């Protein structure tokens, strides 16, 4: 019998969707969809203090923006709900298993204060021992231990429940990405908490209960969970459950610090939302992330989610950490924008509205013209839509200041000759003149005056745009308003050429 493939992405709503999380989600989605399995979203909100208001919504919104969909989640529960750990706890889903472990003597109540534990750890450090929890009921019978519980309860102490780690065991598994891994039970740091004093299960415990109850078959997650895995296997085994397959993907690390991406790194844009706001395309984000720590067979670099899904092969997941390369992301996004420019155009125009370069009304009525301006200005060179604002601002919506260098070109002997020849030629040209017409005109000035190169082009460019460099001038002239150009030229003439 073949087991149904069910994988999950289980974020904790303590922040927005970060590149690293997005990657975990994407690869889980790819795994599920490639093998016709189910992709489930479960919210791990057992840390009530760190949950933030919109964390969950933001996570899901951004996932959807990336193009992912899911089969079960808090909003569309399947048969294994609820899908938030806090609600599962309220419904008492975890308690019976804690009670079971307690009853079997595999877990116990611990009343040690955090101060005591801290002091123990300090002493261990000082003695150059690895920090580990010290079992406080050593040698006591069950009854004696129960008596201790009563004693502590009478003092008003709140217990946590700790799992009694079988220290002599070695936990091993065949990792989907890393191969065989084994870790001795004594390395987990002693008996660990499965239920906090507030009654919430801890992460390593709740994960096991939920993965089992939700029939999760494969757990694909970050490398940083490798050392949690033995703890989790302990629980699966203690409860007599089948252990899912684990796969630990290499981490994405910050190129500057070399450390794993942290929400606290301010020097790097690392939330999906930030890229969304700058006008990165979701396909580009997926494309970039899909190539971090995974490689396709051929030499292509541009892939859609669908393409990744078809090609997906967990054996091609890389074992080594990958640095986040923003330059490559920019390039990939540029490729996606160019690939479907018509589709991106409304977004580009919207950027101009947001920047107050055009009104919302003009954005609609002049959209064809705006599209031309954007193309002429060189949209093929930008990395994300927000950049279009500075790309077109000058000279299409504002004129820049004249620099000394510009004035020199204009007021040189050649400049004066070129200007006056251009002035009469341009004035005579119809408004419908094409780029070829302008080119022909400029060439004829070149022939007549015998001036070429910068000395020819710069005076014209400067007089019409207040720029010394920019897109192809004939094309710009086509797109710019003739009256505006005429008055710009008149002003330049009045100011510098009299």
Query: What tokens were used for 233?
Result: 């296997």
260 with 24: CB under 8 angstroms? no
Query: In the complex, what is the shortest distance from the CB of residue 327 to RNA, in angstroms, rounded to a whole number?
Result: 4
Q: Which among 218, 174, 195, 205 has a CA at the least distance from the CA of 9?
A: 218
Residue 361, classified by CB atoms within 10 Å of its CB into exposed (0-12), middle (13-18) or buried (19+), is: exposed
**CB 247 within 8 Å of CB 176:** yes
Q: How far apart are CB 349 and RNA at their closest, in Å? A: 19
Q: How far is the CB of 312 from RNA (least distance, A)?
A: 14
Query: Among residues 127 and 428, whose Cβ is nearest to RNA?
Result: 127
What is the spatial distance between Cα 346 and Cα 485, in angstroms, rounded to a whole number? Answer: 27
Check if the beta carbon of residue 94 is closer than 8 Å to that of residue 201.
Answer: yes
Task: Tell me how far the alpha carbon of residue 244 is from its chain's centroid.
Answer: 27
d(CA 366, CA 358): 10
In whole angstroms, how close is the CB of 258 to RNA at the nearest point? Answer: 4
Which H or E run includes 58?
helix 55-66
Residue bearing tokens 């970039």: 288
DSSP 135-154: PTTTT--HHHHHHHHHHHHH
Buried b (16+ CB within 10 A) or exposed e, 7-36: bbbbbbbbbbbbbbbbbbbbbbbbbbbbee
Nearer to RNA, 363 or 435 (CB): 435
Peptide bond into 44 cis (omega under 30): no
Report the residue number, 103 or 180, with the smaller CB distance to RNA: 180
Which one, 21 or 217, has the nearer CB to RNA?
A: 21
Q: Are 247 and 44 in contact (CB under 8 A)?
A: no
CB 109 within 8 A of CB 149: yes
Taking the least distance from each CB to RNA, the nearer of 259 and 343 is 259
3-class DSSP state of 301: coil
What distance in Å separates the CA atoms of residue 396 and residue 239, rounded to the nearest whole number?
70
Cα separation of 290 and 27, whole Å?
8
Tell me the three state secondary structure of residue 192.
strand
User: Considering beta carbons, is residue 199 or 363 the nearer one to RNA?
Assistant: 199
Identify which of residues 321 and 363 has a Cβ nearer to RNA in the complex: 321
Q: How far is the CB of 455 from RNA (least distance, A)?
A: 9
- Closer residue to RNA, CB minimum distance, 364 or 398: 398
Distances (CA, A) of 28 to 6, 70, 105, 217: 9, 10, 36, 12
Nearer to RNA by C-beta: 197 or 479?
197
Considering beta carbons, is residue 253 or 363 the nearer one to RNA?
253
Closest distance between RNA and the C-beta of residue 29, in Å? 18
Bridging pattern class, strands 107-110 and 160-163: antiparallel
């Amino acid at each position: 019998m073949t087991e149904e493939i069910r994988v999950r992405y289980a974020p904790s709503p303590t922040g927005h969707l970060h590149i690293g999380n997005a990657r975990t989600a994407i690869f889980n989605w790819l795994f599920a969809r490639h093998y016709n399995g189910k992709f489930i979203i479960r919210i791990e909100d057992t840390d009530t203090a760190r949950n933030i208001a919109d964390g969950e919504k933001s996570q899901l919104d951004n996932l959807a923006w990336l193009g992912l969909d899911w089969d079960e989640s808090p909003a569309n529960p399947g048969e294994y709900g609820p899908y938030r750990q806090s609600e599962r706890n309220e419904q008492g889903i975890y308690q019976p298993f804690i009670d079971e472990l307690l009853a079997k003597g595999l877990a116990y109540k611990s009343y040690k204060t955090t101060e005591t534990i801290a002091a123990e750890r300090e002493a261990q450090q000082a003695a150059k021992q690895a920090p580990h929890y010290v079992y406080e009921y050593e040698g006591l019978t069950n009854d004696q231990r129960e008596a201790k519980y009563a004693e502590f309860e009478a003092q008003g102490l709140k217990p946590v429940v700790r799992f009694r780690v079988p220290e002599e065991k070695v936990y091993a598994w065949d990792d989907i990405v890393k191969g065989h891994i084994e870790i001795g039970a004594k390395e987990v740091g002693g008996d660990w908490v499965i239920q906090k004093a507030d009654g919430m299960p801890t992460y390593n415990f709740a994960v096991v209960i939920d993965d089992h109850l939700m029939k999760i078959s494969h757990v694909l997650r970050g490398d940083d969970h490798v050392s949690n895995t033995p703890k989790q296997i302990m629980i699966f085994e203690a409860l007599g459950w089948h252990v899912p397959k684990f796969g630990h993907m290499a981490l994405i690390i910050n190129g500057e610090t070399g450390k794993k991406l942290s929400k606290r790194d301010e020097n790097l844009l690392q939330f999906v939302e930030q890229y969304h706001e700058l006008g990165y395309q979701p396909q580009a984000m997926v494309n970039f992330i899909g190539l971090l720590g995974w490689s396709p067979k051929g030499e292509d670099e541009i892939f859609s989610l669908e393409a990744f899904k078809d090609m997906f092969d967990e054996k091609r997941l890389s074992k080594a950490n990958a640095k986040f390369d923003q330059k490559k992301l920019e390039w990939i996004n540029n490729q996606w924008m160019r690939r479907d420019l018509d589709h991106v155009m409304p977004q580009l125009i919207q950027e101009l509205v947001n920047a107050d370069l055009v009104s919302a009304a003009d954005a609609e009525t002049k959209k064809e013209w705006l599209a031309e301006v954007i193309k002429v200005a060189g949209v093929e060179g930008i990395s994300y839509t927000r950049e279009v604002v500075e790309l077109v601002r000058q000279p299409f919506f504002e004129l820049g200041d004249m620099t000394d260098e510009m004035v020199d070109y204009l007021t040189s002997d050649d400049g004066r000759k070129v200007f006056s020849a251009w002035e009469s030629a341009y004035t005579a040209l119809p408004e419908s003149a094409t780029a070829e017409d302008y080119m022909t005109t400029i060439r004829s000035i070149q022939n007549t005056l015998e001036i070429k190169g910068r000395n020819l082009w710069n005076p014209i460019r400067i007089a019409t745009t207040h720029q010394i460099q920019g897109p192809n001038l004939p094309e710009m002239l086509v797109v710019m308003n003739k009256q505006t150009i005429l008055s710009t030229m008149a002003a330049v003439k009045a100011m510098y050429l009299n």
